Amino acid sequence: MSYVSEVLQGLEVKFASQPEFLQAVREVLTSLAPVIEANEEKYRKAALLERLTEPDRQILFRVPWVDDNGQVHVNTGYRVQFNNAIGPYKGGLRLHPSVNLGIIKFLGFEQIFKNSLTGLPIGGGKGGSDFDPKGRSDNEIMNFCQSFMNELYKYIGPDRDVPAGDIGVGAREIGYLFGQYKKLSGDYCGVLTGKGLTYGGSLVRTQATGYGLLYLTQEMLKTNGHDLAGKTVAISGSGNVAIYAAEKAVQLGAKVVTMSDSTGWVYDAEGIDLDAVKEIKEVKRGRLAEYKNYRPNAEYHTEGRVWSVKCDVALPCATQNELHLEDAQALVANGCIAVAEGANMPTTIEATEYLQASGVLFAPGKAANAGGVATSALEMSQNSERLSWTFEEVDAKLKDIMVNIFRKLDDAARRYGMEGNYVAGANIAGFEKVAEATLAQGI
């Protein structure tokens, strides 16, 4: 049996209760097969794949907090420090009721290769909690974040592990987490990224994942003889990634016609009114159903998904496994030419394979959404040198990084005879650096 199959089979037995983790590993290892086969004996002897798929450490802790009525609640906190071969652990914190160890492990595993692709010195990690922030007051959010940090602060540090935002964690939560870290440690340092601009945050970090997604998408389109200008774009989600993806898509001349949240989705044939979405989501923390109050001609649906509308480019920006085979079939039938993942693993393996087989350009999340963590790494650099760069400087670096990432995918895919397969390209290019660093540092 091949080394890849052997490792996959072992993981499938051991982690049968972690389907998202297995999905992420299966996708990566399967597309790495040609690279592994070329070095099979060396990698098997060094147990390289076993070492890459077993986190360095997995920290689980109790998070007790008090709501506004004096009721005590208990959630589970997680931090998975997956791999620090090329730099300190780096990756977001997710607050969502669906969070469990398997989800944090899938995100941490993806993060290793994503961070490697940025070309910056950051390892892979991820954390979060099954806490549901929906409907909670600012005070309750602060109570939760402080309790979460009471435990987490022991394990993180600017040269050790640097968390940031993800689903349910934005500037407000990072502020409370940073305040509590500072209180507990006494250190004012770059231990978190996504900080506010008045206390060490970087310009462009808020926009970075969405903007970066569009920079990479534009590069992929141009390389294949297309341009974003004049294209119709379908976006899912209406959070941090979706909003700034939509903003940059419009700046590049496209029209965005859909956005969604966990209760429904809007179709606005005239183009989404982003000011309205920002007010509903960023200011009021409300539901997208309110969009019709701003744009009475738009459609609001609670059934189905955004992928049923006619579009040229689809950008899934909400959550994992939100674009299924039937959605991929609908996209292809409607003439979609490109899918780029703003979210982490939003496309199922079957849907990805169908899109690729149908000739749709497909940019996987670990490349396409790497602009967020890349700009986090730029925030770390600015914190270290105690300087702040201008918006234009950071944006130019972000654009360079995203174009370079696309070049790496394209090049790695070609080197292994899989031209245009950017999934394989991303996995191979991300893996090469981590594998070399891991082997160089011994057991």
How far apart are alpha carbons 402 and 175 in whole angstroms? 28
Task: Indicate which single residue of 55, 108, 124, 165 sits in contact with ligand NDP (rule: CB under 6 A).
Answer: 165
Backbone angles phi, psi at 73, to 5 degrees: -125, 155
CB of 77 closer than 8 Å to CB of 100: no
Residue numbers 176-195 binding ligand NDP by CB under 6 A: none
Please report how close the Cβ of residue 271 comes to ligand NDP at its closest, in angstroms: 19
CB of 169 closer than 8 Å to CB of 205: no
Q: Token pair of 40, please?
A: 């099979």
**Nearest in space to 291 (alpha carbons), one of 312, 269, 274:** 274
Task: Indicate which single residue of 7, 36, 331, 343 sits in contact with ligand NDP (rule: CB under 6 A).
Answer: 343
The count of other CB atoms within 10 Å of the CB of residue 337 is 17
How far apart are alpha carbons 154 and 166 in whole angstroms? 21
The DSSP bridge partners found for residue 91 are 163
**Quick one: 90 or 226, whose CB is closer to ligand NDP?**
90
Select which of 126, 231, 281, 399 is catalytic.
126
How far apart are alpha carbons 265 and 333 in whole angstroms? 21
**Nearest in space to 207 (alpha carbons), one of 66, 346, 435, 372:** 372
Residue numbers 304-363 binding ligand 2IT by CB under 6 A: 344
Q: Does the protein bind ligand 2IT through residue 268 (CB under 6 A)?
A: no
**Quick one: 112 or 164, whose CB is closer to ligand 2IT?**
164
Q: Does the protein bind ligand NDP through residue 237 (CB under 6 A)?
A: yes
Question: Which of ligand NDP, ligand 2IT, none does residue 91 bind to, with CB < 5 to 8 Å depending on kind?
Answer: ligand 2IT
Q: Does the protein bind ligand 2IT through residue 92 (CB under 6 A)?
A: yes
Task: Indicate which single residue of 143, 202, 218, 238 sits in contact with ligand NDP (rule: CB under 6 A).
Answer: 238
CB of 240 closer than 8 Å to CB of 170: yes
Residue 149 amino acid letter: M
**Quick one: 92 or 425, whose CB is closer to ligand 2IT?**
92
**Residue found by looking up tokens 């000739």 in the block:** 359
CA distances from 35 to 40, 167, 180, 412 (A): 8, 33, 45, 10
**Quick one: 233 or 373, whose CB is closer to ligand 2IT?**
373
**Nearest in space to 28 (alpha carbons), one of 407, 430, 351:** 430
Q: Does the protein bind ligand NDP through residue 239 (CB under 6 A)?
A: yes
**Quick one: 290 or 393, whose CB is closer to ligand NDP?**
290
CB-nearest residue to ligand NDP: 239
Question: Which of ligand NDP, ligand 2IT, none does residue 193 bind to, with CB < 5 to 8 Å depending on kind?
Answer: ligand 2IT
Helix axes 349-357 and 325-333, enclosed angle (nearest 10): 20
Q: Token pair of 432, please?
A: 């090469």
**Quick one: 87 or 342, whose CB is closer to ligand NDP?**
342
Residue numbers 106-125 binding ligand 2IT by CB under 6 A: 111, 114
**Nearest in space to 362 (alpha carbons), one of 424, 417, 431, 429:** 424
Task: Indicate which single residue of 344, 356, 421, 427 sits in contact with ligand NDP (rule: CB under 6 A).
Answer: 344
Helix (H, G, I), strand (E, B), or coil: what is residue 139? Answer: helix
Q: Token pair of 245, please?
A: 């993806």
Q: Does the protein bind ligand NDP through residue 369 (CB under 6 A)?
A: yes
Residue numbers 81-140 binding ligand NDP by CB under 6 A: 96, 98
CB-nearest residue to ligand 2IT: 92
**Does 126 qualify as catalytic in the annotation?**
yes
Task: Indicate which single residue of 166, 247, 261, 341 sits in contact with ligand 2IT (rule: CB under 6 A).
Answer: 166
The secondary structure of residue 156, as a DSSP letter, is: -
Positions in the binding site for ligand NDP (CB under 6 A): 96, 98, 165-168, 209, 237-242, 261-263, 317-319, 342-344, 369, 372
User: Active-site residues: which are they?
Assistant: 126
Binding site for ligand 2IT (CB under 6 A): 90-92, 111, 114, 164, 166, 193, 344, 372-373, 376
